Amino acid sequence: MSIQWFPGHMTKARRQVEEKCKLVDIVFELLDARLPDSSRNPMIHEIVKDKPRIVLLNKADLADQKWNERWIKEWNERGETPLLIDAKTGKGVGQISNLSEKVLETKFAARAKKGIRSRQIRAMILGIPNVGKSSLINRLAKRTATQTGDRPGVTKAQQWIRIGKSMELLDTPGILWPKFEDHLVGLRLAASGAIREEILPVEEVALFGIEFLQQHYPSAIQMRYQLGDLSAEPINLLEQIGQKRGCLRRGGVIDIEKAAEIFLQDLRGGRLGRITFERPDEERMKIEEENNQRIKNLDQ
């Protein structure tokens, strides 16, 4: 099932980004460390083309440390320049400027040979909604340079922001792609809070999250809610969560929607511990399967 979501301001935003991309030296691609591939806009290559790029894995403090390390290795193997950061606390953010200078060293040296005077690095920050762009910009600027919010789509316009003496940063609205052919990608994005809750039923997203925790982080859900049989169906565990959190309607009926909202708030806020929703091995296998299928189609 394809999930359609492409508000009008996002069509305009992509057009603006493509126009402004010519003005910058480097692009900061901001991803969610909990779901690096699912939070990556596949249109990014079309928009950025061969522009130098740094992949910033934000919210690393909410992601499983073991898988953070594996993802860094994965991105390096893909020929990317990755960096783990936490925009809220500032961890890793101080390395961005030096890493940018390193990535652009050859380009700026070539300019110097041509007699072109050095200037501030001009950078652009790109990422899907609610991945932490505004928080990162404010941390870099060391002031409230742009509005932040715990909901997707807070940034609606572009603005140049001075970052110290060595950099200017062009902020851009978050851009999602027109539709998600892979329903699992949509569920991961919804579980992380990147998609507005009206796009996917809150109960479906919560059940996805509970089932994922059952398989990969059973102790997290057990410790948070003191549940009984973790082998029960996800809907039964959601009902238990609702009962323990007092999500009851008249007659003692459990309010499943309210229970789902509470669970997702806990999941997104890190109250269930450090969770990573996808692993590089899974994504590599998926890519290999897709390539094998293409080869089969060509042989037919």
CATH number of the domain residue 257 falls in? 1.10.1580.10
Question: Is 76 part of any known ligand binding site?
Answer: no
**Structural domain span for residue 61:** 3-179
Question: Is 130 part of any known ligand binding site?
Answer: yes
Residues 143, 125: Cα–Cα separation, whole Å = 17
Q: In sequence order, which residues have a C-beta less than 8 Å from that of residue 295 and are 6 or more positions away? A: none
Question: Is 165 part of any known ligand binding site?
Answer: no
Q: Give domain status of residue 232, yes or no.
A: yes
Instruction: Give the residue from 126, 155, 179 where a domain finishes.
Output: 179
Same domain, 160 and 31: yes
pLDDT, tens digit (0-9, with 9 covering 90-100), for 9-45: 666 767 777 888 888 999 999 999 999 999 998 888 8
Q: Give domain status of residue 294, yes or no.
A: no
pLDDT, tens digit (0-9, with 9 covering 90-100), for 254-264: 999 999 999 99
- Answer whether 78's CB lies under 8 Å from 29's CB: no
DSSP for 66-111, written as a single string: HHHHHHHHHHHHTT--EEE-BTTTTBTTTHHHHHHHHHTHHHHHHH
Q: What is the pTM of this model?
A: 0.84
Q: Give domain status of residue 299, yes or no.
A: no
Q: Look at residue 147 in the predicted model and tell me its pLDDT.
A: 46
To the nearest 10 degrees (0 to 180), the angle between helices 202-216 and 218-225 is: 110
To the nearest 10 degrees (0 to 180), the angle between helices 202-216 and 183-192 is: 90
Question: Is 132 part of any known ligand binding site?
Answer: yes
Same domain, 161 and 234: no
Question: Is 202 part of any known ligand binding site?
Answer: no
Q: In what order do the strands lie in the sheet with 121-126?
A: 82-84, 53-58, 26-32, 121-126, 167-171, 159-163
Same domain, 30 and 130: yes
Q: Look at residue 187 in the predicted model and tell me its pLDDT.
A: 92
Q: Which residues of 159-170 are buried (b: 16+ CB within 10 A; e: fewer)?
A: eebebeeebbbb
Same domain, 14 and 162: yes
Give the largest Cα separation in the chain, rounded: 80
To the nearest 10 degrees (0 to 180), the angle between helices 256-268 and 183-192 is: 80
Instruction: Give the residue from 159, 179, 199 where a domain finishes.
Output: 179
Q: Give domain status of residue 297, yes or no.
A: no
Same domain, 219 and 192: yes
Q: Look at residue 152 in the predicted model and tell me its pLDDT.
A: 40
Question: Is 192 part of any known ligand binding site?
Answer: no
Question: Is 131 part of any known ligand binding site?
Answer: yes
Same domain, 226 and 98: no
The residues of the chain scoring below 70 in pLDDT are: 1-11, 13, 143-158, 173-174, 176-180, 282-300
Q: Give domain status of residue 75, yes or no.
A: yes
Q: Look at residue 83 in the predicted model and tell me its pLDDT.
A: 98
- Domain total for the chain? 2
Same domain, 148 and 43: yes
Same domain, 138 and 217: no
Question: Is 134 part of any known ligand binding site?
Answer: yes
Q: Look at residue 146 in the predicted model and tell me its pLDDT.
A: 53
Same domain, 59 and 139: yes
